[in-house]
Amino acid sequence: MTKQDILSKVRYGDYKLVGEMIGVSGDYARKLIHNDHARKHADAILALRKIIEEREKKIADAYGD
């Protein structure tokens, strides 16, 4: 999943969850995700990817896909 794929699937509350996962505020998590040169950028992208993958998995399980 590319960065653009991940960003296209962001929903309300995702940045806050990323922040909780990596120990920063939701607002700062959003900035980290959009700043490729930030020290915690990779951690933030990985956390966001996990959130999106889990959401998609739960939706697929609920609808039997």
Write the pLDDT tens digit of every residue in 37-49: 999 999 999 999 9
Query: Most distant CA pair in the chain: distance in Å?
Result: 40
Residue 65, pLDDT > 70, answer no
Q: Which of 9, 13, 24, 18 is nearest to 48 (CA)?
A: 18
Q: Which of 25, 32, 34, 38 is nearest to 7 (CA)?
A: 34
pLDDT, one tens digit per residue, over 6-64 is 999 999 999 999 999 999 999 999 999 999 999 999 999 999 999 999 999 999 999 87
Residue that the structure tokens 């915690």 belong to: 40
Q: Which of 20, 50, 3, 9 is nearest to 29 (CA)?
A: 20
pLDDT given for residue 5 in this prediction? 95
